Each structure stands twice: as C-alpha cells, then as structure tokens.
Structure 1
Amino acid sequence: MLKTDHQSSLAYARALDEKDQLAEFRSAYHIPAHGGNPAIYLCGNSLGLQPKATAGALEEELRQWQEKAVEGWFEGDRPWLSYHKYLQAPLSGVVGAETEEVIVMNTLTVNLHLLMVSFYRPTSRRYKIIMEAGAFPSDQYALASQVRFHGYDPQEAIVEVQPRAGEIHLRTEDILQTIDQNGAETALVLFGGVNYYTGQYFDLPAITEAAHRAGAYAGFDLAHAAGNVPMQLHDWKVDFAVWCSYKYLNSGPGGPSGAFIHARHGNDPDLPRFAGWWGQKEEERFLMQKTFHPIPGAAGWQISTVPIMSMAPHRISLELFDRAGMDRLHAKSELLTDYLSWQLDRLNRQEHRFQILTPSELSARGSQLSIYLEKEGKNLFDHLSRHGVICDWREDNLFHSGGGVIRVAPTAMYNTFEEIYQFTNLLEQYYTPKS
C-alpha cells in the first residue's frame, strides 16, 4: 500500500505531473471545456474521453465505403473482412489473454447472455449461480432471466454473497466459503471484476480456483475492470469474461463489447453456443454450407457481421493502450488514487465529512473512489459541477439514509495530479465557512 507522505500544495501536485511517464497521453484525448478552460473530467468509469485520432479513423472507413463500396470487405489497408483481427492482439494485453482468446463483438449484456448459453447449463443437481450482492442491475436482470429460461426460480437458484453486518465490502473468505458450501449444486460463479458502486476489486484468481474446485464454471463481468486494473485471465484459468469498451477503454458511447473465452473451451467445437455466419470458419464462410464449423478460439462465438464504424474507434483506443501498457497505467492509477485518498483523509481530519466506500488496499481497488455523503451530498455534487468538475452522482442504495455517493475516477491515461489538487481544493472551499 503506497500511502506516501504526500503534501497538500499545488507545487507538489505539479512536481508529480513533471515526473509522470505517461503525461504525453493526455494530449491524445479531447478534454471537455468549462468556461473556456479544460474541465476536470473524473468520469472515465462511466464514459471515457474521445481520442483525437478517432475522427480520422472513422473518416478513413467512410472513404473506404465511398471509394470501394462492397470491395472494402476485401481491399484497402485494413479490409473489413479481417477487421476484428486488428483488435485482438492489443486487447489481449489489456486482459492478460492469448490473442485467440479474445474477440470484440456485440454489446456487453448481449455477450453475457450468449456466453451463458455455453457456460450456464443447469441440471437437476447443479443449477445455482453464485454472484455478488449489489451487482450492476443489468447483470441481475440477465442472470434472473437465464435462470427462468431454464425453468428455475431465481430466489432459489441465485445465491448472492452479502457483506457481513456493519461492513461494506465482501470478504474473499466469505465468497470462497459460499462457493464451497453450495459447491455440489453450483453450475456457475459469476462476479463483477470491480463493483460499480463501491469500487471493490475482487480476487478473481481465488474465486476462479474455488469455482473449479466445486466443479463449476467461473465467469466475470469486467465492465469496470477492463482497462482499469491489470489482469491475467489466461493464467488464472478464468472460463469466460465479458466487458464494455466505452468506460476505461475510451471507445465511445455504446462502443462494442469484448469477450474472453479460455483456450480450453475456445478450441472445443462441440461446446454449445448460439451460432451465426461470422463465427463460421473463414475459408468456409462464403461457401454457404448448412453445417456450422466454428473458427477456433473466441472468434467462433461471433454471430453477425462486424460493425466497422464501431470497431474503428475501439481500434484507435486499443492502440493507445498498447503503447502505454497496462503495468504503467496501473502504477500511475495507484499513485493518483493514493494521492486523492490522502487529500480526502486530510479534509476528514479537519472535520469528518464523508466516508470512502472503496477499499483502502491497493490490491482491492482500481481507479475509482466512491465518496459517501450522508448529508448535502447532492449540493456538494452540484457545487463541483458548477466549477467544472465532471464526476458521477449515485443515490444511496447501501445505507438507505437519504445520502448518496460521488464516484470519482482519476484515469491514468489523461488525468493529472494537478486536477486531483483542484478537485480537493474545491471540496475544501465548499466546507470552508463563508465570512
């Protein structure tokens, strides 16, 4: 845990920025403006900023369409027929996978449903799904509907792991114990990688190992983890994972989803799946044969034609991630959040004003800190917004006290230490009595 002996001065924040090895990447993104100055954008956990090269990538594909029309599938610098392949290598580095284990297709919840076709196959003996309580609602809807589709009652088939009384975070030992206790009846363990509300990063390898020990599959929704925290999905032997690309991966609103399928499954053509022609072996795709022979690897789960205009922005973003590297990005993220949490602790030492819901252990969090305020939370959020801070407000669904949470995500790709200083300075101004 870093918890460096930071300083509260502007000069100190600027000195950290001068030593930042990733400082050059900020200039690769469009920063929203506020009152003629750059806004303090701390909402990359909801929608990442637009890379400046995105417009050129879209224009390139529009020209390809304009000049080559249908021949664009086969001609040009990047023929559309192979477009998904340009994203696989850099994406594999983001999630710690082999190139053939990842694919970009569809959107997140669509992919979750599609992969549950393969990895949630309940029987009269094994039918339960174990998940975290307080998961993002879309996951809850998807899992409940899958359970009902197979004829089971979600109240009986879905086991939610709750924090202990009086606690906010899930303890890893409680997750593993729940898996062990329900092991004989469990078909699937499906967790978020990082909880959207508290920002807790779960112990994915430990959960995966426990699921396999129980004879179940292990899958993860990495919407708040991909591009945020370093992972090694292949080495951890995760069965499958899905994520979106519009948060930390900066690929635009509604950007395409990614999926990971471990090689031991991806190369099994007999594993049940919903098939479509884009997953058919490329050498057979245009033979229009009746029998489906999937492409080896995750690409064999593709169903529909690749949406090129959505893939192009994602390709640009992944190229930036490939240059920056997840290890360097995470190292900066740790220092950013450490500096932010130190500043928040400093303000709380003056007078207790808020609670940090996100774990203090660096290994249990990513870029997001969730700040809980029992009183005046929305007023403080509005104060920040008026002064050019773009962050995120969530109503209280944890303590049910009428308060709320400001989610703040200092993102290593484009946020600075000076912005953290400015953000906490605005908090201090809000709490300073007016003379």
Structure 2
Amino acid sequence: MEFHVKDLNLADEGKKRIEWAEMDMPVLRKEIRKRFMEEKPLKGIRIGACLHVTTETANLMRTLKEGGAEVYLCASNPLSTQDDVAAALVKHYNIPVFAIKGEDEETYYIHIEEVLKRRPNITMDDGADLISTLHMKHRELIPEVIGGTEETTTGVIRLRAMAKDGALTYPVIAVNEALTKHLFDNRYGTGQSTIDGILRATNRLIAGSTFVVAGYGWCGKGVAMRVKGMGADVIVTEVDPIKAIEAKMDGFRVMTMLEAAKIGDFFCTVTGNIHVIREEHFKVMKDGAIVCNSGHFNVEIDIPALEKLAIKKERIRPFVDEYTLDDGRRIYLLAEGRLVNLAAAEGHPASVMDMSFANQALSAEYLVKEGKNLEPNVYTVPEHIDRSVAELKLKSMGIEIDQLTPEQVEYLNSWEMGT
C-alpha cells in the first residue's frame, strides 16, 4: 500500500484518539456503519477524499470502507492534518493517506495527484480542490466518476461557479447545505473550535476585549455567539444588508471593517471571500491586534499586504507570527491565516461532525444508486437523508418527539378549514 504520512510510529496514539472521537459519533458508528457492514452498498466503488485529516474524518473513512469502498485520503488544507491520525489510518485501518501537517503547497498538490491516480468513482471535497484539479488537469478521469460531495460553504461557492460556467461535468451533492450540517457543524462546531484555536495559540483573555467577526453566515453566527458568551464586546462586519440587520437585532454592533479595524483587539474572518482584511485595515489597527481566519482558504486576510507593510516578522510562539510595522505597531497573525480551528486546535467536536459525516456517507450511497440519473450540477442533500440524520441523532440522544395526529395531517393538507 502506498501512502505518505509523517511518522508511522505515531499510529498507536492516533488510534486511541480515533476511538475517543468514535464514542461521540453514535449515528455514524451505530446506525450507518452497522448497516454498511451488512449491506456493502459501496462495494466496488473507489472514493477519493480531500478532507481535513482529523479523528472525525478517520471515522468517516472507516465507515466508507466498511461499506465496501476502496478509500483514498489526502488533506484539504496544509495545516489541518493530525499526523497521528494519518499514521493510524495507514497502520491500523489499511487506508492509504497522503497528508502531512505543515506540508508546502507543492506537496499538498502532489498528495491530491496521488488520490486522483486511484481513479475515483466518487470524489469527496472540503473546499473543491480535488474536483477542480480533476477538471483542470485530469479530464480523462471524468468518465469514471459517478458524482461527488462537497463539505464547505467555500467549496459550494466554487462548484456553483463551475456549474454556471458549464465546466462541471458530473453531479455534486452540497453536503454543506444539509440542514443537519450547516445549522450545527457551521454554527456550533465552528463557534467552539475557532475559539479553541485562538485560545490555544494565544492564551489571551476574551472577556473584556473587542472582538470583530467578519461575516454573519452560520459560521460567523457561531463565533459571535460564543465570544459574546465569554464576555467580549462583539462587532460584526457584513456586505449583506439582511445579515447585517440580523446581527444588529441579535445584539451585536455592526459597522464597516475600516471602522472596526480601529478598535478591535481580535479579528476573525469567516466569509469565504478574498481580502476581507486588507492594507487599509492593517494601517489603522491598534498595537497588539490579533488577526485570524476560520474560513476555508487563507485568502480572507491579505497576507501579502501585511508582509509588505511589515519591517520585521518573527514567530513568537507556535501559530503566532508577529508583524512589526514601521511605526512600531505589532500585528499578530495566527496559523499563517489558515483555518485557526484546525491549524491551532483539533477542529470541530466529534458530536457535531457525527451529523455532517452521516450526510457524507449517506450521500455517497445515494450517488451510487442515483448518480447516473443526475445531470452535472450542484444538488442539495435529499430531504429524506437530511431528516433521517436528524432522527438518528435524536434517537442516539434518547430524545423522543411528537408525531402529527391524523387530524393534524388533514388540517395541514386542507385549505377549507380556516378560523
């Protein structure tokens, strides 16, 4: 088996951490994996996955393999790989992994190429780098692809652009748009893990600080909610007037980034867009401002502009780079502008990823059954899968909910019954 990981000697520690995460992923472990082991719905299918190599992802890979698939995994971000997990997947679960934490950009794309060499029938993306590389450099593989899945907001934006341009050649399910994904993973997962990453990197107090959140989508809502609960004065910046009003009515201050840049202590971007924090913002930031990103790619912060403004750069602690400007002000960039929750911490808690990866596994099964009937486009997760994941999660939590009575069903289906 070919693979490329940092050190196989880390495998035993990684296995313990995978098993620890598995305990908090009952939907994937008890409900889906058990059925997959019996039915083998993915038998004969090659799955190429470009995802964050974490303990939770490891349990998804195990589930897909138990379903009969050949699984190949590479990292979807150079800093998000957990090296012990990568080693454990190779040594203990015989799953080829091509990922090393801190790999340079060249190695990152070499690893994507390694997965594509296996000629996947289904692609699984977290940011759309695998599918975009396939379309740009390996179009000969397209006839063998049934379909794909995409986990992130950023990736879905890219895929919709591909579909709009007529460049997308096979169907892709936007797992990110499942209600049981973005309402929980994006909000509660990103909210908690982003703060975890900031605290691990800086050990700074959130309470009493001014915390600027750029973007008020579900990820931004989660971050803003969490730092507010920790005692921060939260400012939200937005380009969408509806989201801006929502942030205001949720109790946050709303202003432009140029205004916020003058008073913020912490800055976190979660927009999925490019250069949200730019040169004009760095020029007015306070001495000691801490800047980070929790969007998928490291483009939300204009790092080249910061490099240009700085007369000195020094790494003063893991994941913290100090940029000194010509007037003596210091700006601190966390995790090289990459996903702070995965680079400086461990990513989302297993419990919330349980639902996200349940959607991934069931969407792969759906593509095997229905992919040939779908046009090249971006699709939402079928409603029956989304609701099934919610029902399974409630069941695993020991929660029962009411069912509609026949009278209620009749009432909802009737237009004659009024006041």
TM-score normalised by structure 2 residue count: 0.29
Higher helix share: 2
**Bigger relative contact order (CA 8 A; separation at least 6):** 1
